Each structure stands twice: as C-alpha cells, then as structure tokens.
Structure 1
Amino acid sequence: MPRQFFVGGNFKMNPNSVAEKRALTTLLNQADLDSSVEVVVAPPALYLLPLKELIRKEIQVAAQNCYFKESGAFTGEISPLQLKDAGIPYVILGHSERRTLFHETSEVVAQKTKAALAASLSVILCIGETLEQRETNQTTKVCSEQLQAAVDLLKEADWSKIVIAYEPVWAIGTGKVATSKQAQDTHADIRTFIASAVSPAVAQATRIIYGGSVNKGNCKELSTQPDVDGFLVGGASLKPEFVDIINATQKK
C-alpha cells in the first residue's frame, strides 16, 4: 500500500504577532490544497490552541516539543498528557535545534518519543547529520545511531505512529539543499536500517520525510524520489509558497 504523502510546517519561534498568525491561517484556510496529502503545522506553544480552533479541519496541529514526564515541577515544559488533553495530535521531537541549542541527546529524544506515544500522540521524529559528518561519510552512521536510541525503547507496533524526518543540519536555514539523489540515498539507507533494526514491514510502512530549506523551487523534484514521503518545512511554511509545497505531487 502506498505511503500517504506528508507535509509538516514547523513555524519555529514565529510568527511574531497575532496579526501575522491570523494572516497565515487565512492563507491556508483559503488555499486549494491536495486532499490526498496529510498536512500538519507546528506553531509556538502559545498559539497551539487558538490555531487549532481557527485552522481548517483538514490541517492538523503539532507541538514543537514536549517533556517525558506526565506532570510535576518542570517549569517551562509541556507534558504529552497535556497535549493529548488539549486535542493536539502530533509533536515534533529531536529537531536539530533541540539537539544542538538545548543539548538534547538521542537518549532524551527517545524517552520523549516513548512518553508521547504512551499518551497516544503521533511523533515527527527528527534525525540528521552536520556538514562535517556528511563530508566524512558518517551520514548513515549518525542517522542510524540517532534512531537506535528510539529502537531500544520502543515496541514494533509503536512505529505506526512515527514519521521520521531526515533533516541534514547543514541544510536547515542555510539555503543549501540536499540534492534529490542525496535525499533519496539517505532515505533509502534509513529505510534499510529500520528494516534491520525493527522489521521489513515497519520499514515499508514508515514515512520518511525530508527537511532542509525545502521551497517552491525544489519540492517537486524531491517529491519524485521513491523514498521521500513528504517534507518538514521551516521558513517556507510561513510564506504563500507553502501551498505549492503541499501540492508538490500534483501533476499540472
């Protein structure tokens, strides 16, 4: 069975005003979107609930992060159970900015993933290598090690609620993009790892999406690759071209 194309918009710490959020919501609500694509947007936590109420029902809302505890004295954090109670279906975990700026290890990301799944959330699990790691041919090793931490904690059935986002750190916000061949090769390697570490059935069913300066100009070619099942979009998700990225697989 073919994997459903998935496009996520990670707004990061944007937009900077309620007016900008409203304009972005209006754009998405009025756009002609490919109904066969699963679309998820991840605003800052402050805007999660209002955006959920304002956005069209075909678009789901995701948190950009959560903690691995259900409750307690963890100032500034959001628990998976709180997200579930608020009706937020998805959470992004392990984004490179969380790993590099906030020093989250793969083991912490795996703990968060397990906790989110236990709360019946779906997870966009991010992995990816730095430029130095890419240039020293460590891409497959790095991605496999980042995933192994999750494999060690999860059951095979858990993977049905995980979307893997391959985001080469060197291509995030830099304007650099992995070529369609680089993306395909890495996604194929990730799928091979999942087949070995979890099961061939899980590998075949799991969606692996690409993130790293995806835009209107490169999304169509990337979308034609057999192991690229969608995108996690950063800066471009705040612009009108996000609609073109969502519709990348449409033939016109």
Structure 2
Amino acid sequence: MAKNMLIAGNWKMNGTHADLAGLGAFAGLADRARDGVSVALAVPHTLVFSAAQLSADTSLSIGGEDCHHKESGAHTGCVSAAMLRDAGASFTILGHSERRADQGESDADVHAKAEAALAAGLDIIICVGETESERDAGTAQSVVGTQLAGSVPDCDTARLTIAYEPVWAIGTGRTPTPDDVAAMHDHIRAALVSRFGEAGESVLILYGGSVKAANAEELLHVSNVGGALVGGASLTVADFAPIVEAA
C-alpha cells in the first residue's frame, strides 16, 4: 500500500525468556517488510532488555506495554519510562482498554504517562475505544473524542500513534464492519487535524480489534487505518506474518 503503516504486536502478560528464541523470526519479518511498513513488538517488562539486545541490528522495534508517570520513587512494582528506555525500549503502549478497565486508568492518568514517556525519549501508542454500552447508547464518537482530548498531550506528532480498540466487540460475539471501522477512524483523524492542524494528517491510527490473518487485508484497506495493534496473533510469527504481509 502507498501509505506508511505500522504493525505492532502486544504480547500482554505472555512470554518468558524461552519464548525469545523465536525473536529472530520476528526480526527477519521486520527486515523483509516492504518500504513504508514498520514492525514492532511490545513485550512484558521482564523481556524488554533481552528482546532489545536480540533485535538491536534489525528493523524490529521493541517497546513496553505501559509505564508509570513518575521517573522514580516509592512506587513498588511499577516501571518508569526512563527504566524502559534504559532497557532498550523505543516506545510504549498507554491507555490500553484492559488497563483502563482492570486498573481503572483515567484519561488524566494516560496523559501523565504519555508526558513521562515522551520526556524519557520513548514514542507513544495511545489507545482509545468505547464500551458496548457506550456504543449502544450512540455516544461512541463523543466518548472516543473525550479520550483523545484528555489522554493525548501536546507533542511532536511524529512520536505519536493512536490505536482504536472497539471494546464493545471483545468477547461479545459482535464484529465491527469495515464501515464501522472507517467511521471511527475518520472521526479520530478529524479530531487529530482539529487539534494539531496539518501535522494531524500524518499520525498513524492503528486498528486494534482482534486483527488476524483472515481479516487483516480487508481492515488495512479501510479509510484512515494506518496499521494494526495485534494481540493474540502476535505471539507466534506464523500468525503475525500474514498480517505484516497484508500491510
């Protein structure tokens, strides 16, 4: 495809050092990707250093799955953006729907983390998306607009990526249509342009709703879809490769 694309995997709470034996295949996939297609993996904090070392001379970017908003201090069990950067990460995911739901993260929390990540030299992927009740109430676009306004800091847009997660389709048996995806991605694009002007046109907007080999090609051709945030299908290169190839 003509436009630049990012295919980012999110391993979530999966993986041990034994699983990094297959990282070379992911790196090879990134190295073979067509011009304009970038490949990244966000791995658990315990794997960031080793994954970054193993992929150091490749096109594969390694990132974290979250960070704390403070650089250091009495925050037991937390990992700062500076620590991620020191371990070799080049980006982090923030505001993922699972953290918003399970850890109760607010837009203000995500905004603070984003500022900390940028200050530490990390690029950011900020997730937004509406729940089933919000979609059924007809407030999907206003909810996502509010999340964008509250979660995204003023920043160099070259370091910003947005990921749209249709939370309402996760585990419900409901599947977004290409028209559903296009409508939300077009809405997000309009909000970015309103906020950042012409620079908002170039921010990649990833789709993060159960992307897999069977639906990747169709989804990646939807209006204003600039790639994918991939969960389960990023755990093995066999499942991940067709998505990269579709880009």
Q: Partner residue of 1:233? A: 230
Q: Which residue of 2 aligns with 1:147?
A: 148
Q: How does 1:70-149 map to 2 (within 5 A)?
A: 70-149=71-150
Q: Take 1:139 and 1:120, find their aligned partners in 2: how far apart are those partners?
A: 32
Q: Which stretch has the larger CA shift, 120-129 or 53-62?
A: 53-62
- Partner residue in 2 for 1:6: 6
Secondary structure of the residue aligned to 1:247 is: helix
Aligned length: 242
Q: 1:177 to 1:237 in 2, by over 3 A?
A: farther
Shift in Å, 1:173: 5.9
Q: Deviations over 1:153-207 (max 9, x none)?
A: x33x4322110000111234667542211111100001111222x1331221111
Classify the secondary structure of the residue corresponding to 1:114. Answer: helix
Partner of 1:51: 51
How far did 1:30 drift? Answer: 4.4
Residue in 2 aligned with 1:21?
20
Residue correspondence of structure 1 range 200-239 to structure 2 within 5 A: 200-239=197-236
Q: 1:54 to 1:172 in 2, by over 3 A?
A: farther
One-letter identity of the residue aligned with 1:236? A
What is the CA RMSD across the aligned residues, in angstroms?
A: 1.8
Answer with 140-149 or 28-37: which moved more: 28-37
Distance 1:72 1:29 in 2: 35
Worse overlay, 169-178 or 91-100: 169-178
**Take 1:230 and 1:174, find their aligned partners in 2: how far apart are those partners?**
24
User: Does structure 2 retain, via aligned residues, the 8 Å contact 1:175–1:213?
Assistant: no
Where 1:92 maps in the other structure, the secondary structure is: strand
State the Cα deviation string for residues 28-61 of structure 1 (Å, max 9, x = none): 2444742321111011111111111223611000
In the alignment, residue 228 of structure 2 is paired with which amino acid?
Answer: F
Deviations 1:112-142 (A, max 9, x none): 0111111221000000011111112111111
* 1:170 and 2:171 are equivalent in the alignment: no
Question: What is the aligned counterpart of 1:159 among 157, 167, 179?
Answer: 157
SS at match of 2:163: strand
Normalising by structure 2, we get a TM-score of: 0.91
Q: Deviations over 1:51-74 (max 9, x none)?
A: 112236110001000011011111
- Aligned-residue sequence identity (percent) comes to 38
Structure 1 residues 214 and 176: alpha-carbon distance in aligned structure 2, compared to 1, 3 A threshold: farther
CA contact (8 A) 2:52 2:87 kept: no
SS at match of 2:201: helix
Amino acid at match of 1:219: A
SS in 1 for 2:124: strand
Give the whole-Å Cα distance in 2 for the aligned partners of 1:30 and 1:69.
35
Contact 1:215 1:245 in 2 (8 A): yes
Q: TM-score, normalised by structure 1?
A: 0.90
**Cα distance between partner residues in 2 of 1:191 and 1:54:** 35
Q: Which amino acid aligns with 1:85?
A: D
**Distance across 2 between alignment mates of 1:3 and 1:107:** 32
Structure 2 alignment gaps of length 5 or more: none
Distance of aligned partners of 1:44 and 1:176 in 2 relative to their CA distance in 1, 3 Å threshold: farther
2 CA distance for matches of 1:38 and 1:136?
Answer: 36
Q: Choose 26-35 or 211-220, whichever is displaced more.
A: 26-35
Per the TM alignment, residue 3 of structure 1 is displaced from its structure 2 partner at its CA by 4.6
Aligned partner of residue 135 in structure 2, secondary structure? helix
Secondary structure at the residue paired with 1:112?
A: helix
Give the secondary-structure state (helix, strand or coil) at the position aligned to 1:6: strand
